[in-house]
Structure 1
Amino acid sequence: MEEISGLPVHFVEHGDGLPVLVLHGSGVDHREMVGALEPVFRDRPGYRRVYPDLPGMGRTPVPDWFRGSDDVLDLVLGLIDAVVGDQRFAIVGHSFGGYLAGGVAARRPAQVAGLALICPIGEESRDVPPHAVLHASVDVAEALDPAEQAQFRDYFVVQTPATVKRFREYVAPALPLVDWDGLGRMSDQWRLSDASGDAPPYTGPTLILTGRQDATAGYAGAWELVERYPRATYAVLDRAGHALPHEQAGLLTALIAEWLDRVDEHRAA
C-alpha cells in the first residue's frame, strides 16, 4: 500500500529488476493481470512486476473528488514516482488500463522503456462487432454462481472449462469489490484532456494486441495507433474477445515475451 495524494493505493509486486507497471481494466482488480502475465515471467528473471488496483476497484478507493481519467492518470503517475522513482520502466495495460498506459507513455516518453496495449479502448470506438460466442463446451449454469453467470457470458466469446476456471480465479473475486457508483462519477469525463494523439510519437518498443471478436473495444480503432507508435507490433487474434488474456493465453505469453526481448535489446543499445 502506498499513499498517493492522500489516497491509499493498493498494489502487489513480484520479482526484481526492470520495473514493469501493469494496469488492469475497468470492473476487475490487479488479479486479472497477475493471472495473465505471471506465466510470462515464470522462467524470465530480471523484472519487478508492479500490479496496482486502480481507483474504485480492488482495495483502492475512489474519492469523492475524482471526476475522470485525468485524476486516475495523475494518481498512476504519482504511484510511479513513489515506487519507481526516476528509473526507466515498462508498462502494460489492458482495456482502460491500456488507455491509461498510452497516457503515461505520452507524458513520460523518455522514462518508458516499452509499452504494451492489450485490447485498449480508444478515444473513439468504431466497427465494434456485436458480442457472439464462438465456442461453448461448458454448462455455465452448472459451473458458476447465478450472480457470476451474466458477467462471464457477456465477457467471454470462448466458453470452456479452462476459461471458466480463469474467470473464477482471476475475475470473479474482484466483482464484489467494485465501487460502481464511484466509477459512474468518472465515466462522463473518461477521456484524457491532453489526448495522447496530440503528443509526439512514442518511439520505444510497443505491442498492440486486439481481439477479432472484441465487442467492447473492437480491433479496427487500435490499428490507428500504429502511426503513433513507429516501433509497434500490431496483432489481431481470432478466437478472442475483450477477454483475450484468458482466451488466447498462449499467444499472449509468446507476444509479451517477444516484446520484452525488444525492450531489453532497446535498453542495451
Structure 2
Amino acid sequence: MNIAKVSHRFVEVDGVRVFYRTAGPADAPTLLLLHGFPSASHQFRRLIDALGDRYHVVAPDYPGFGHTEAPADFPYSFDSLADVLEGFVEALGLTWFVMYVFDFGGPVGFRLATRQPDRIAGLVIQNANAYAEGLSELARQTVANRPGVPGAEDNIRQILTLPVTQSQYLGGTTDSELVAPDGWVLDQYFLDRPERQRAQIALGLDYHSNVELYPVWQRWLQSHRPPTLIVWGRNDAFFPEPGAHAYLRDLPDADLHVFDTGHFALEEFLPEIAPLVADFVDTVARQDAKPVSR
C-alpha cells in the first residue's frame, strides 16, 4: 500500500506567512491545489493522500484562510490573494505545474494564469466558475454585495455561519453519510475568529471583480487552450452544471465529467475523481515534458 507522507510547512511571502501542505517526489510532475470558500488546504487532505505518493503535490492556504498568517493591515481582495499566490510559486520554485482550481481557487488561479501563462501545464477545474451561465440566482445575489450597497456587509455575515457552511458540504449530495463533518467544523472554527470576519467580508464585497474578469479569462482560455480536465458537482447551489459545459466553448477538447453531488464534489466522489486527475497529470506530463518544479 502506497500512502503519501505529507509535510506541513510555512514560507514567507511579502510579510505573509503562508501555510502549505506538500507531498511526493520533488522530481515528479507538480499538482498545485487551490482551495475554495470557506475552506483551506485541508479540503484536499484525502486527495493528497491518494496522489501524493506519485506527484509533487502542493496545497497552500490563502491569506484569511486556514493556518496562513497575514498582517493586521493586509488589504483583502482577490487581486491581493493572487499577488500572494504568485509570490508563493516563486518562493517554492514552481515553474511548470497542473493547477487544480476549486471555487475561490478559480479567480485566484485564473489571475495567476493570465500573469504567468508559461507556468500552467494544464488545468483541473472543479466547480470553479468563469461564465455567466454558471451563476445561480443565489450566486448573483451574492455578487450584488459590494462596497456602498446598503446591507451588503450584513448579507455577507449571514453567509459566515455554521448552517451555511454545513449546507455547502451537504447540499446536493447523493449520500450525505460519505461526507465527513470534519471539514465544515474546521472551516467554521476559522470563520469564527474575529480577524477572519474582516477578511471574509472584504472578499465578499470584492467578489464582483471576478465576474467582471470573466471575459479576460475566457480570452486566455481561447488563446492558450491549456489541456483541461473538468469535474463538477451538478447540484451545486452556487455554480450549477451549465457553468461546467460553458468551458467547452473555449476548450472544446476538455475532458468533462459531471457527478451527482454538490459543491464539495471531492467529499463524496474522491474514489472516482482521483483516478481522473492522476490520468490527466500523466497525460500532460507525457505530452509536454518539461523540467519539473523542485
1:46-69: CA deviation from partner (whole Å, max 9, x where unpaired): x21111111111111455342421
Say how many residue pairs are matched: 246
Pick the aligned partner of 2:110 from 102, 106, 115. 102
Residues 222, 82 of structure 1: CA spacing in aligned structure 2 closer, same or farther, 3 A cutoff? same
Residues 231, 105 of structure 1: CA spacing in aligned structure 2 closer, same or farther, 3 A cutoff? farther
Within the alignment, does 1:258 sit opposite 2:279 as a pair? yes
- In the alignment, which residue of structure 2 is the partner of 1:40? 50
Paired with 2:187 and 2:165, the residues of 1 have a C-alpha distance of 12
How big is the shift at 1:41? 1.3
Pick the aligned partner of 2:186 from 160, 173, 195. 173
Residues 154, 203 of structure 1: CA spacing in aligned structure 2 closer, same or farther, 3 A cutoff? closer
CA contact (8 A) 2:129 2:135 kept: no
* TM-score where L is the length of structure 1: 0.80
% same residue: 23
Pick the aligned partner of 2:165 from 123, 148, 151. 151
Paired with 1:22 and 1:161, the residues of 2 have a C-alpha distance of 25
Instruction: Decide which structure has greater helix share.
Output: 2
Paired with 2:257 and 2:276, the residues of 1 have a C-alpha distance of 9
Within the alignment, does 1:52 sit opposite 2:60 as a pair? yes
Paired with 1:267 and 1:32, the residues of 2 have a C-alpha distance of 29
SS of the residue 1:92 aligns to:
strand
Gaps of 5+ in 1: 131-146
How big is the shift at 1:95? 1.1
Map of 1:85-234 to 2, 5 A cutoff? 85=94, 87-122=95-130, 124=132, 126=134, 128=136, 151-156=165-170, 157-158=172-173, 159-163=175-179, 166-168=180-182, 170-178=183-191, 179-190=196-207, 191-192=209-210, 195-199=216-220, 200-234=222-256
1:71-116: CA deviation from partner (whole Å, max 9, x where unpaired): 111111110111124x311111211113322332332222211111
Paired with 1:14 and 1:127, the residues of 2 have a C-alpha distance of 34
Pick the aligned partner of 1:248 from 269, 272, 289. 269
SS of the residue 1:188 aligns to:
helix
Gaps of 5+ in 2: 1-9, 139-160
Pick the aligned partner of 1:75 from 59, 74, 84. 84
CA contact (8 A) 2:17 2:70 kept: no
* TM-score where L is the length of structure 2: 0.74
